[in-house]
Amino acid sequence: MPELPEAETIARGLDAAIAGRRIERIKIHRDEVVEPMSPAAFRRGLRGRRVLSVGRRAKWIAALLDDGGRWVTQLRMTGRFTWAPPSPLRSEAHLSASFVIEDDGGVIRFYDTRRFGRMWVLDEDEWAELDARLGVEPLSERFTPRLLADLLSNSRAPVRNFLLDQKRIAGVGNIYAVEALFRARIDPRRPARCLDRNDVRRLHNAIRSVLSAAVDRRGTTFSDYRDVLGAGGGFQNALKVYDSEGEECLRCGGTIERCVLAGRSAYFCPDCQR
């Protein structure tokens, strides 16, 4: 599932392609992509609107429109946008929606193999309500060691599970949570509220450094993820522990282990992450 670095990469690509342009035509190829809106309501809310900018909130893509609303997309597991020069609108395998951009701005297409992705047009109040439900952005100035300590102190959950809670810290998924805990030398099973001051400081630094490095490498590609021009990410080549069960720890030579927390695999080195 795309996480913060992948969503950030996609948002930047869309911003470069369509910011300042109007959306001329929209074709919904699969009605469920805009549920619970109807395709007609979605088209009415978006057609003719100028996209002022495209950004990211948590794992969501959010395009600011000229009426103050947002065109919001939740990628979920396999959703991806592509940009291409002007071309006919036609149905294709896994294509959910197409958007024709003015002034020969090309066509934006949204593909989704597993069909879990969703998009909506929200007014200002609806966007504010969604934004308020999401936690702090981990690459923002607001995300400080003190804030992280306060958030951790109220949670009995394993620290890996805590990092996946989008109401606390927005945008971190399993890949980057596992990698950050490895860098911070913290066992993913430890109760969040049991981390001491030094643990919190290391974890804060690790979260920011892992996410920043992944954004620089345009995300992590294992199978489906691509940017809007079809290129994969490069951070998979920098992973230290994720999906490495049984392999040698690159830091200490121990053996990477896997545990299951809340139905999701977590990878760690029991020698490094005590």
Residues taking part in catalysis = 2-3, 59, 264
Q: Rounded distance, CA 83 to CA 231, Å?
A: 12
Question: What does DSSP assign to residue 243?
Answer: T
Q: Rounded distance, CA 154 to CA 183, Å?
A: 23
By the 8 A CB rule, do 102 and 24 touch? yes
CA atoms within 13 A on the CB side of 274: 3
By the 8 A CB rule, do 240 and 183 touch? yes
Residue ranges of E strands in the chain: 23-28, 51-57, 60-65, 70-74, 79-84, 95-101, 107-112, 118-122, 257-261, 264-268
List the structure tokens of 161. 């599970």
